[in-house]
Amino acid sequence: MPSKKVESFEGKLQKLEEVVAWFESDDVTLEQSMAKFEDGMKLAQELEKELTEVENRIQVIKQKFEQA
């Protein structure tokens, strides 16, 4: 079974920035826009989830040190 490639936060952020840059270009078509928009939304959701997880881990660590 092939292993699933896990992309880094930075890699996902770079891809999202590329999608945004594409929308700012003059080469935007309606058909491509829908696919790019969906890709961008998926990336944004994944990044938001990762940021929330990191924030939660930081809160747990802070609580441990405050209790010590």
All structural domains of the chain with their residue ranges: 9-67
- Give the model's confidence band at 2: pLDDT under 50 very low, under 70 low, under 90 confident, else very high: low
Taking domain 9-67, whether its CATH number is 1.10.287 is answered by yes
- Give the side-chain half-sphere CA count within 13 A for 44: 10
Angle between helices 9-24 and 30-67 (to 10 degrees): 150
Mean local confidence (pLDDT), 25-29: 86
The owner of tokens 């003059």 is: 26
For residue 3, pLDDT over 90 is answered with no
Q: What is the pTM of this model?
A: 0.78
Predicted confidence at residue 4, as pLDDT, reads 59
**DSSP codes joined into one string, 17-28:** HHHHHHHHSS--
Mean local confidence (pLDDT), 46-61: 96
The owner of tokens 């802070």 is: 62
Mean local confidence (pLDDT), 37-41: 96
The three-class DSSP label of residue 29 is: coil
